[in-house]
Structure 1
Amino acid sequence: MSTTRPAAPPARSRTRAAVAIAAAIVAVLVIAFFVFSGFYSDVLWFDQLGFLGVLTTRWASQAVMFGVGFVAMAFIVWLSIALAFRARPVYAKLNSQLDRYQQVIEPLRKVAMIGIPLVLGLFMGVSTATRWETVQQFLYRTPFGEVDAQFGLDIAFYVYELPLYRGVVAYASAVVLIAGLAALATSYIYGGIQVTGREVRITRRARIQLAITAAIYIALQGLSIWLDQYATLTDQKDILTGVSYADDNARIPGLTILAGIAAIVAVLCIVTAIIGRWRLPLIGTALLIIAGLVVGSIYPAIVDRLQVQPSAGQLEAPYIERNIDATRQAYGIADVDVQQYDAQSVAEPGALREDAETTANIRILDPARVSPTFAQLERVRQYYQFQSHLDVDRYTIDGNTQDTVIAVRELNQDADDSWYNNALVYTHGYGVVAAYGNQRDAQGQPQFLESGIPSTGELGEYEPRVYFGENSPAYSIVGGPEGADDDIEIDYPSGSTESNAYTTFTGDGGPQLGGLFTRLVYAIKFGAEEILLSEQVNDSSQILYDRNPIDRVKNVAPYLTVDSDAYPAVVDGRILWIVDGYTTTASYPYSHVQSLSGAIVDSNTPAQPYAIDDINYIRNSVKATVDAYDGTVTLYAWDEEDPILKTWEAIYPGTITPKSEMSDELLAHVRYPADLFKVQRSVLATYHITNPIEFYSRTDAWTTPDDPTETATEVAQPPYYLTMQLPGTEAPAFTLYSTYIPRTSGESQNILTGYLAVNSDAGEDYGKLTLLTLPKDNTVPAPGQVQNQFDSDPVVGRDLNLLSQGGSEVQLGNLLTLPVGGGLLYVQPVYVQSSGGTQYPLLRKVLVAFGDEIAFEDTLDAALDALFGGDSGADAGDGDVPTDPTDPTEPTEPTDPGTLTELQQALADYQTALAAREAAYARNDLVAAAQADEDMQDAIERAIAAAEAG
């Protein structure tokens, strides 16, 4: 008897299968290496910076939380399915449909019983891992030392404990619900639950499992309802945040009742597991739902409608007072110094004598306008650039504190797309450029106190190279063997391409690229095979990346909300970026909740789409510095009493440096952060009202005026830094200020109602908020009205038209408001920029206003003298600077026809010279451009002479 063996599969098929398996293995290995390379590069970056503990703490916490979530879901669901399957009736008579279900499922049953819990566990693990910060803050929670007015619990309960408790209940509810549904489905498929017509039969073992599961789930809902009463303390309502009268007298008692009913229903479910009667828990559940509608919604609404609304001012007053007190405390505005300021509206001769120091420090240089001027005069070569909005700081020059507009000369790689140049040659910027805030030269250009390459000026010697900045490249490869003489990094141009100065980075700024493996990791990270292949990359090379100072601080301190503006300062021989960091929460009881990103929007800070950053507590807890040369990050504990910072210090030990270790020179450049100030001014617009009845009526609510220089869009006017002496203070201080107008429509919006300022000098008065409130019947114009006065004044309009002759463009600078002379003085610089050729604004004129009077002159001194009757008593910073001879001034109507002809001819010559200058710049003919400048100056001098003669 012969047997026939099955034919062996063809060799080609076996080969294809082997190739497919090998390709799959290779693909998995490649993907795994890509993932690993990302983790490994993070380890190298954090380790080099000295913050590896931040990364490992996060990873370890996420891993533990993932494990907890995964095991909790996977094990409980598996256990529920397994118990339901084991409890199935062995000889149950099933209908044909269930038979078919079993036939389909049975071959996959074992896989499904393991696979389904594993997949669900993965989802739960990932979700749970994202909540690691909540758990860590709970474990290391720090008491606030303050209690809420409703339950008498420490604020820490609401910030740290309540979010964890509610999260645990929510996750546990999800696990129990899914486990119950899995048990229900398993019991139904395998006969533990049988539905025949209208009759439902449940086996005893299935009943016990489902009843106990239901009891646990309902008990969890009862616990959730119980916790909801504490959450009412952060509920946002139309009038207030926190518990209202209706909450206190209806909603909170109702939640307590509902939690009790839920506990009773859970007990009834246990009873059902014992006696087998489902009617009781079903009735209890229906009662719970009805009670939830009546006690949780209808009754509080009735109380609010019939009891509260007719007497809202009286009944809500205690709760509004809680809201006011908590909000002012949470936002750090509880101690604001409120002063009544009866502003004068008539400029008296000599009125500025007592405020001479303030008027001498008025900043006429607008940091939002002069970036193109800095770039034209100080960029030096095309591979440098400046930020579009410069920064304001102060420096001590010859013993005097001087407001300064400062910028870092950063790298610009747009002109070259070569990997070699971008990664190895053009690696850093060079030096800072700083100008006096209250001075300009005869041409209207900034008066620099630090400029040039190499840098020279008043700031002394410092390390000028900028490897870490706001516009640094994605990465650079720097460094070389010790003692090497083949520098390839361009340091700065020395007059010609052939004589450029070169350097080699000698700091410790990034991970070492020693070894083929590390180079491969970074070649993958940045998608640049040149990192692996270039002969210029050696064992001494370092790779610098994540170089923006704000990003570096965010990475090493992920718990901080970082200010949107990092500013540079020359400190102790280094360029440091100073970054303000905030600790925030949205869980402070009774405190008003608002969007952080929404509160800081103004003409300097654009809106952030889709930002989710609601807060109701904020502290400037950290001042961070980033070294512009080697990227070193130092976190200083600025608010050492902040409980949230203390908690994070415990989570990340050793990462925060005490405030006492800040050098005196660094302290001299600390300033009050603008974002914090904008948040506080937003809150004070309403919460300057401390009387509950007046707060309820909102009749005295304020808002920040729109920036009058932004005519295209309606955005808030930003706060401004400048040195001034506030009423009631003994000396000038570096100050940040903003103004208020009524929050109503119509002409009243043009009236100033408040003036908010904060001391920005480190010291005893740092952070002192002063609010000058103006009488409600005052007639002091607001910025919008003042700008309208400037624009509509016939003399100003005539002069502005003349300044725009010959294709020039007039740009209005920031409109400053200063409380001097017993009133409020407005100052606005006026810039002129050519509309063609080389374009950069030059400061030509200054507008000032006091009450309804305005003046428009070449210098601030002249404008103040004109405004205050020739005896302003001030000595402004630009008073001794010669008037710009190229600044055309509109004459009065000439009466002599010959004089009029001379004026017209001079203006025509000016336009011809302007066109010649633009053409000269276009062909890079500097000699012809200089000659054209002389012709323009001559034409303007003839125009002025003709105007004066007329």
Structure 2
Amino acid sequence: MTKNDWFPNDDWFPGENSSPKRPFPSFPFRINKGLLVAGGAALLLLVLFPALAEFYTDYLWYDTEGYGTIFWTRLFARVPLFGAGFLIYAVLLWLNLSAARRNLRALYPEQEGLLGAKAAGFAIAAAALFLGVTNGAAMTGEWTMVLRYFHGTPFGEVDPIFGRDIGFYVFGLPFWRFLHGKALNVVFLCLVTAGGAYAAFLLPRNRDLASLSVPPRMRNHLALLASAGAFLWSAGYLLDRYNLLFSPTGVVFGAGYTDVHAELLALNVLAVLAALLGVSLLVSLLRKTWKFSLGVAGLVVVSSILLGGVYPAIVQKYFVEPNEFDREKQFIEYNIEATLRAYGLKDITLRTVTPDDSITWENVEQNRDTINNIRLWDHSPLLRSYKQLQEIRTYYNFSSVDIDRYAFGGQYRQVMLSPRELDLNGLQNPTWINTRLEFTHGYGIVMNPVNEVAGSGMPRLWVRDLPPKTEVPLTIRRPEIYYGEKPTSYIFVGTTVKEFDYPMGESNARTTYEGKGGVPMGSLFRRILYAIKFADFKILFSDVFTESSRVKYHRNIRERLSRVAPFLFFDHDPYMVVFDGRLVWMQDAYTAADGYPYSQPVSLGRGQTINYIRNSVKATVDAYDGTMRFYIADPDDPVLKAWSGVFPGLFRPLSDMPAGLKGHLRYPQDLFNIQSEIFRVYHMTNANTFYNKEDVWDRSSSGDGKTTLEAYYVNMRLSGEEKSEFALITPFMPVNRDNMIAWMAGRSDGDNYGELLVYQFPKQKLIYGPSQVEALTNQNSEISAQLSLWSQRGSAVIRGNMTVVPVGDGILYVQPLYLRAENSELPELRRVITSTGGKVAWGETLEESLLRLLGSSDGQAGSSFRPVEETPMRPARPEGEPAGLAALAREASDAWDAARKALREDDWEKYGKEMKRLELVLKEMQDISAQN
């Protein structure tokens, strides 16, 4: 091989007759090797030290939080994966390229100078090392899947086609798929690199590809690699058989008739043919002929087309579709059974009830515990009220409203509450001192009962202000919130700078952190580490740090929990509980999988789907010191058992949870939404009914403005039960219809926790759905006229969510109405609409609305937790005083001043009365203006 074969007309080709080498330029000074080594070491340290700082501070965080073993388990799981990946890729690729080099040296001795040079060996080693490192690093990302495989436990259930335990599909199949994919990748890289090296020498010598002759050495090498690829190809077909159980193309999710009777046959035959191809390639090495191998390869290609494509299409078109239900019935039943099991719906309790046409006042009196806890405040209007009334300073923020229940004075009350978190974006002067040392935490909560109103349509606040004031027996000794939904940045506590605690008129209360949360960082070494980690060198040069200083980071509760248990899925709505004088976050967590055969998958968004889920874990985070605890809520879940084996000691039994916290467990919203979405279809357990979709339910109202009705928590007495309980419920309507056909409840209290109940109504009886009741409301002349009048006056009318509440053997519908002035963000609860049996009424309170709807047996309302709002009367005007606009204007001004004074004094009852008086005066002024 000459230089012209590679580089025609290139005078610089390093072959024969090459031009003389140019001398390397000399330096005018002597190079100090020690200095060079020191400079290289410093450069290496500059690159490595930030990574080491990140590694060590990461360990410090885990160790301080009490989860150091989690850190090391995760690390040691990655190291073997990297080592295995590196060795497999690097060694096999080095052997492969070395074999190619050896063959080329034997075939082209004239190129010994090129092929035998040390540079060629270094290039091969470098390529093998590079591919080994990159692929080894890529394999470390699969540590959760590998650990789950080695600690997997049986489900105790088998698939109906292959008879394998479900654990094989959840734990085993992903692992074998992973190994198979990596093996194929190695063989492919070996084929590409060896083939590329051979082509580089063959193609320049054989311009005519038709006459290309491959030397036996090359052919044997490539045939050996191709044989390995064929055997792996065969193994892939065998694994593909199990994927049929996750086929999305049939009548239902999972293998259908065509999959089992045509696709499965094709995969078995193709697996045999691919293995035969591998054997034929090995035999060809000995027989020196390739005709048989080429024939088998052609047979594999033709069979994959005919068996893998044509044959299943013929079976589907001419054998299945003409008798689809008969052919698919068995597989529909498999899908129904698997889906109900995978989503925890197999043991759901179904009750058929025939509700009364309407409820009576006697029902109201008998179910006072339910009536007294009907929610009149929606999340959005209440959150606006919280923001306007209780944020107090721009740097405080209420992110969301939570729903819970507490026992006060022996009575079970449903409440809504929100933590007052710190929002650094609201700081007027966001200096380093302010954002890192002084403004470090939120403070306290706001709480109100779900059904009470105080003062001109405002929520009655049981817990409010700074420091917290309470109207109920609820003690908050640690109102500081260092950990929550809002915090994302790092802060320092225990410094010489006193932390801002809460505002006190013209001054501010100050505090010093007294807990154990955060990583100690009093030493200079740790300050250096954190200065590098956060790229914040004020940490290094500031003189505010002491021996007791601590740094708090990863303060967002979901982020904290995810760092300890990244394999869990977390509910979107953590909620705060007041427990033993402290504020504690409760977070529902799920184990999930996408490998349950025949189970219908659901989308979680962002391209992620699952078809198995359990609420296996209840997590808590202390808002003051960040202490995390993980409690086992479902000890029978095989997925959780696997993770318990991976991380022994991470999960505690639910019996270890304090009773005061256990009383606040609730059925999780995300799980309930998934289950209700599945059950609206899979309540049809009869295959024929399911196939025809005869009885599909819906959680959405029909019509142009179709919206999904959100599930809601209620404190109620379920039909057939003796006492009220906290439950999450949602109604169902027939698809494309508005009447209600059923409702589902997830129970949250005591021994009944986690149970699902579904109450079905007779199909021949009309039970109004929420949208039908809303239509009846719109047809009510009194209501529609008043709504129009409010709108004409510039007020925004906000319709709250309609709540469907079973009361006795009847159904009560409740919808709050809010008014918001044109230039105000503060909504006021003005009316409560109630309906039952096709009748609609409204009133200023729920009690008044019920009285107008039902009347009372004795003409009086029953005892209840009455809203404190009463319709105030304007004081009588002195005799002889004119009722002109000037006098009314003075009276309006007096009412406004009195209302503002009451607001400053936290006298909500007086505030409401004065605002109502102001409204009446303004209305009278408007009437006088209209007459003139």
**TM-score when scaled to structure 2?**
0.88
Q: Contact 1:67/1:125 (CA < 8 Å) preserved in 2?
A: yes
Q: Contact 1:622/1:639 (CA < 8 Å) preserved in 2?
A: yes
Q: 1:932 to 1:154 in 2, by over 3 A?
A: closer
User: Aligned-pair distance for 1:528?
Assistant: 2.5
Q: Contact 1:350/1:868 (CA < 8 Å) preserved in 2?
A: no
User: Aligned-pair distance for 1:800?
Assistant: 2.7
SS at match of 1:237: coil
Counterpart AA for 1:66: F
Question: 1:640 pairs with 635, 642, 663, which one?
Answer: 635
Q: Contact 1:621/1:642 (CA < 8 Å) preserved in 2?
A: yes
SS at match of 2:516: coil
1:462 pairs with 2:472: no
Which whole-Å CA distance do the structure 2 matches of 1:907 and 1:72 have between them? Answer: 94
1:70 pairs with 2:86: yes
Q: Contact 2:899/2:914 (CA < 8 Å) preserved in 1?
A: no
SS at match of 1:843: strand
SS at match of 1:304: helix
Map of 1:717-866 to 2, 5 A cutoff? 717-744=709-736, 748=737, 750-761=738-749, 763-804=750-791, 807-836=794-823, 839-866=825-852
Q: Contact 2:70/2:647 (CA < 8 Å) preserved in 1?
A: yes
Map of 1:587-736 to 2, 5 A cutoff? 587-597=595-605, 611-705=606-700, 715-736=707-728
Superposition RMSD on alpha carbons, in Å?
A: 3.6
Residue 495 (structure 1) aligns with: 505
Q: 1:886 to 1:112 in 2, by over 3 A?
A: farther
User: Aligned-pair distance for 1:143?
Assistant: 1.2
SS at match of 2:62: helix
Which whole-Å CA distance do the structure 1 matches of 2:333 and 2:714 have between them? Answer: 35
Which whole-Å CA distance do the structure 1 matches of 2:275 and 2:754 have between them? Answer: 51
Map of 1:159-170 to 2, 5 A cutoff? 159-170=170-181
User: Aligned-pair distance for 1:824?
Assistant: 2.5
Residue 368 (structure 2) aligns with: 356
Q: Contact 2:795/2:820 (CA < 8 Å) preserved in 1?
A: yes
Q: Contact 1:241/1:592 (CA < 8 Å) preserved in 2?
A: yes
Residue 421 (structure 2) aligns with: 410
User: Aligned-pair distance for 1:655?
Assistant: 1.1
1:176 pairs with 2:187: yes
Question: 1:450 pairs with 463, 468, 482, which one?
Answer: 463
User: Aligned-pair distance for 1:452?
Assistant: 3.1
User: Aligned-pair distance for 1:451?
Assistant: 2.6
Q: 1:347 to 1:115 in 2, by over 3 A?
A: same
Q: 1:729 to 1:197 in 2, by over 3 A?
A: same
Residue 877 (structure 2) aligns with: none
Q: 1:204 to 1:537 in 2, by over 3 A?
A: same
Question: 1:281 pairs with 290, 293, 310, which one?
Answer: 293
Greater displacement, 752-761 / 337-346 = 337-346
Question: 2:151 pairs with 140, 143, 147, which one?
Answer: 140
Which whole-Å CA distance do the structure 1 matches of 2:925 and 2:870 have between them? Answer: 15
Which whole-Å CA distance do the structure 2 matches of 1:434 and 1:596 have between them? Answer: 32
User: Aligned-pair distance for 1:364?
Assistant: 1.4
Residue 322 (structure 2) aligns with: 310
User: Aligned-pair distance for 1:548?
Assistant: 1.4
SS at match of 1:758: strand
Which whole-Å CA distance do the structure 2 matches of 1:197 and 1:865 have between them? Answer: 96
Which whole-Å CA distance do the structure 2 matches of 1:378 and 1:656 have between them? Answer: 38
Unaligned runs of 5+ in 1: 481-485, 598-610, 888-900
SS at match of 1:439: coil
Residue 602 (structure 1) aligns with: none
SS at match of 2:475: coil
Which whole-Å CA distance do the structure 2 matches of 1:271 and 1:719 have between them? Answer: 67
Q: Contact 2:871/2:913 (CA < 8 Å) preserved in 1?
A: no
SS at match of 1:368: helix
Greater displacement, 339-348 / 239-248 = 339-348
Q: 1:945 to 1:754 in 2, by over 3 A?
A: farther
Counterpart AA for 1:476: I
Which whole-Å CA distance do the structure 2 matches of 1:353 and 1:112 have between them? Answer: 88
Residue 337 (structure 2) aligns with: 325
User: Aligned-pair distance for 1:649?
Assistant: 1.0
Q: 1:355 to 1:843 in 2, by over 3 A?
A: same
Question: 2:529 pairs with 483, 508, 521, which one?
Answer: 521
SS at match of 1:240: coil
Counterpart AA for 1:402: R
1:86 pairs with 2:102: yes
Which whole-Å CA distance do the structure 1 matches of 2:348 and 2:777 have between them? Answer: 33
User: Aligned-pair distance for 1:729?
Assistant: 2.3
Which whole-Å CA distance do the structure 1 matches of 2:453 and 2:115 have between them? Answer: 87
Question: 1:478 pairs with 483, 486, 493, which one?
Answer: 493
Unaligned runs of 5+ in 2: 1-21, 875-881
Q: Contact 1:85/1:187 (CA < 8 Å) preserved in 2?
A: no
SS at match of 2:104: coil
Q: 1:932 to 1:560 in 2, by over 3 A?
A: closer
Which whole-Å CA distance do the structure 2 matches of 1:739 and 1:931 have between them? Answer: 38
Question: 2:256 pairs with 244, 253, 262, which one?
Answer: 244
Which whole-Å CA distance do the structure 1 matches of 2:126 and 2:293 have between them? Answer: 33
Q: 1:874 to 1:679 in 2, by over 3 A?
A: farther
Q: Deviations over 1:292-315 (max 9, x none)?
A: 122122212211211111221122
Q: 1:437 to 1:910 in 2, by over 3 A?
A: farther
Counterpart AA for 1:743: V
SS at match of 1:493: strand
Greater displacement, 327-336 / 427-436 = 427-436
1:440 pairs with 2:432: no
User: Aligned-pair distance for 1:191?
Assistant: 5.8
User: Aligned-pair distance for 1:25?
Assistant: 6.2
Q: Percent identity?
A: 33
User: Aligned-pair distance for 1:936?
Assistant: 6.2
Which whole-Å CA distance do the structure 2 matches of 1:914 and 1:630 have between them? Answer: 49
User: Aligned-pair distance for 1:818?
Assistant: 1.1
Question: 1:219 pairs with 231, 256, 261, which one?
Answer: 231
Q: Contact 2:713/2:728 (CA < 8 Å) preserved in 1?
A: yes
Q: Contact 1:331/1:617 (CA < 8 Å) preserved in 2?
A: yes
Counterpart AA for 1:720: Y
User: Aligned-pair distance for 1:24?
Assistant: 7.4
Which whole-Å CA distance do the structure 1 matches of 2:575 and 2:889 have between them? Answer: 44
Which whole-Å CA distance do the structure 1 matches of 2:577 and 2:338 have between them? Answer: 36
Q: 1:411 to 1:931 in 2, by over 3 A?
A: closer
User: Aligned-pair distance for 1:506?
Assistant: 1.3
SS at match of 1:90: helix
User: Aligned-pair distance for 1:342?
Assistant: 2.8
Counterpart AA for 2:504: S
Which whole-Å CA distance do the structure 1 matches of 2:751 and 2:204 have between them? Answer: 75
Q: 1:650 to 1:347 in 2, by over 3 A?
A: closer
User: Aligned-pair distance for 1:731?
Assistant: 1.9
Question: 1:369 pairs with 372, 381, 395, which one?
Answer: 381
Counterpart AA for 2:486: N
SS at match of 1:848: strand
User: Aligned-pair distance for 1:833?
Assistant: 2.6
User: Aligned-pair distance for 1:344?
Assistant: 4.1
SS at match of 1:87: helix
Which whole-Å CA distance do the structure 1 matches of 2:217 and 2:518 have between them? Answer: 64
Count of aligned pairs: 890
User: Aligned-pair distance for 1:939?
Assistant: 4.8
User: Aligned-pair distance for 1:334?
Assistant: 0.8
Greater displacement, 454-463 / 682-691 = 454-463
Greater displacement, 733-742 / 823-832 = 823-832
Q: Deviations over 1:32-81 (max 9, x none)?
A: 22222222221111111011222222222122212211221121111111
